[in-house]
């Protein structure tokens, strides 16, 4: 090659690299620091998906700032924005999940933050209707990668735990009855009669709708798969003296793993039990942050001491990456009771682990198995 040709070639290369103003602007201003930019989950692209039906995504974060179905501390309506703020150190730039061997933000899936479902805080019957319609709308969008599945998947940021009911209603219409893996200190299959002030005038659509009865409602509505749901992390006090709450729970098709079981079964033993229980069914992971010990997650509605560590919870989720996962939530983060953002940080990290699982599993019965993705 003649020297002049080489010089011309180099000059052309430099010219091409710096020629467009867009290139220069992207290089200078295109990436955020963790602390700059507006607060979407993990700095993801955002869209007001509920009013833009043509927006495509494979996985979406959706905030549901609703907390008027709590039985103790309110405040989880501020959970979505607290989790988003605590997720700021996550981004596609440094998003590789070393435990899982993928970067969920740079893999096959288009993941976006769909903002919030606006829900009334003054009328729970209307609120439940609004949430149900919102979830149906979000699940009706086309996916960006149809070869990986034609139904998008949602990770809900709550909100109190009642927000799982409208999500399950919307999922049932698509997948049929859903198998729920429920991480929680509490059963949440309580009969409405177990609560005070259970007046006969209560309407099923509002008076019975609480953050402790919604799985009972889900079972009553036929949304749950028979004998395949499972709780994990239980340590709640019970009514009565004969474990009748457990009997009520079993009738609704749930198996139970207590919080203390981790001492004998270990993370791996619990993962094995859950995987055997749920099989290939369409699975929904519902994660109440109160499953974590209040020492690591104090900012929540109904704290119970003696819980799991965040490291154990991450290990459990990493072990569940091969499931047919069709939806998930992180609920009950109540930032007014938080300290130094620790509860919201736990919520943000656990959401990231769930997103990782969604990228690793394809929910049309097809699992994305790669031998390099060793778990646990």
Footprint of Mn ion (CB under 5 A) = 161, 184, 188, 288
Return the axis-axis angle of helices 164-175 and 124-139, rounded to nearest 10°.
Answer: 40
47 is in an annotated binding site: no
For residue 349, the minimal CB distance to Mn ion (Å) is: 19
Q: What are phi and psi of 63, to 5 degrees?
A: -85, 140
User: Whose CA is closest to 228, among 182, 270, 175?
Assistant: 182
Helix (H, G, I), strand (E, B) or coil at 286: strand
161 is in an annotated binding site: yes
In terms of CB distance, is 33 or 72 closer to Mn ion? Answer: 72
Cβ–Cβ < 8 Å for 93, 31: yes
Dihedral over Cα of 163, 169, 172, 177: its sign: positive
Q: Cα torsion for 265, 157, 352, 230, to the nearest 10°?
A: 20
For residue 112, the minimal CB distance to Mn ion (Å) is: 27
Cβ–Cβ < 8 Å for 85, 344: yes
In terms of CB distance, is 189 or 324 closer to Mn ion? Answer: 189
CA distance 331 to 163: 8
Helix (H) or strand (E) holding 169: helix 164-175
User: Whose CA is closest to 182, among 122, 224, 128, 132?
Assistant: 224
In terms of CB distance, is 100 or 214 closer to Mn ion? Answer: 214
In terms of CB distance, is 67 or 184 closer to Mn ion? Answer: 184
272 is in an annotated binding site: no
For residue 90, the minimal CB distance to Mn ion (Å) is: 25
184 is in an annotated binding site: yes
CA angle 79, 83, 89 (to 5 degrees): 165
Number of other CB atoms surrounding residue 279 within 10 Å: 12
Cβ–Cβ < 8 Å for 300, 334: yes
67 is in an annotated binding site: no
374 is in an annotated binding site: no
Strand partners, 328: 155, 285
For residue 288, the minimal CB distance to Mn ion (Å) is: 4
For residue 302, the minimal CB distance to Mn ion (Å) is: 7
In terms of CB distance, is 49 or 165 closer to Mn ion? Answer: 165
For residue 309, the minimal CB distance to Mn ion (Å) is: 19
For residue 160, the minimal CB distance to Mn ion (Å) is: 8
Rounded to an integer, what is the distance from CA 217 to the centroid of its chain? 20
CA distance 161 to 70: 8
For residue 259, the minimal CB distance to Mn ion (Å) is: 13
Cβ–Cβ < 8 Å for 100, 373: yes
Annotated binding site, which residues? 161, 184, 186, 188, 288, 290
Annotated binding site for Mn(2+), which residues? 161, 184, 186, 188, 288, 290
């Amino acid at each position: 090659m003649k020297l002049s040709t080489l010089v011309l070639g180099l000059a052309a290369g430099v010219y091409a690299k710096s020629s467009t103003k867009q290139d220069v602007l992207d290089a200078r201003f295109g990436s955020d620091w963790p602390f700059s930019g507006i607060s979407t989950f993990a700095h993801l692209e955002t869209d007001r998906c509920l009013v833009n039906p043509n927006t495509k995504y494979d996985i979406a974060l959706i905030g549901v700032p609703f907390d008027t179905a709590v039985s103790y501390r309110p405040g989880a309506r501020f959970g979505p924005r607290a989790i988003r703020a605590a997720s700021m150190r996550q981004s596609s730039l440094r998003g590789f999940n070393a435990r899982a061997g993928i970067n969920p933000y740079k893999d096959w899936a288009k993941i976006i933050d769909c903002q919030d479902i606006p829900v009334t805080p003054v009328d729970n019957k209307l609120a439940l209707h609004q949430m149900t319609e919102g979830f149906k709308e979000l699940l009706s969008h086309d996916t960006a990668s149809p070869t990986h599945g034609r139904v998008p998947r949602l990770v809900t940021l709550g909100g109190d735990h009642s927000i799982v009911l409208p999500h399950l209603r919307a999922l049932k219409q698509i997948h049929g009855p859903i198998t729920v893996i429920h991480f929680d200190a509490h059963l949440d299959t309580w009969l409405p009669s177990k609560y005070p002030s259970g007046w006969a005038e209560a309407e099923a659509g509002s008076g019975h709708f609480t953050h402790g009865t919604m799985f009972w409602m889900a079972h009553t509505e036929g949304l749950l798969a028979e004998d395949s749901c499972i709780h994990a992390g239980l340590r709640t006090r019970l009514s009565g003296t004969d474990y009748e709450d457990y009997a009520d729970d079993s009738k609704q098709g749930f198996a139970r793993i207590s919080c203390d079981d981790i001492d004998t079964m270990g993370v791996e033993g619990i993962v094995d039990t859950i995987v055997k229980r749920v099989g290939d069914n369409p699975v929904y992971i519902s994660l109440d942050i109160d499953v974590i010990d209040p020492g690591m997650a104090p900012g929540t509605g109904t704290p119970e001491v003696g819980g799991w560590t965040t490291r154990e919870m991450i290990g459990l989720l990493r072990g569940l990456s091969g499931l047919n996962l069709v939806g998930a939530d992180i609920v009950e983060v109540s930032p007014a009771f938080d300290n130094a953002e620790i509860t919201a940080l736990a919520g943000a990290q656990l959401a990231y682990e769930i997103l990782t699982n969604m990228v690793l599993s394809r929910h049309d019965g097809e699992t994305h198995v790669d031998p390099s993705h060793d778990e646990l």
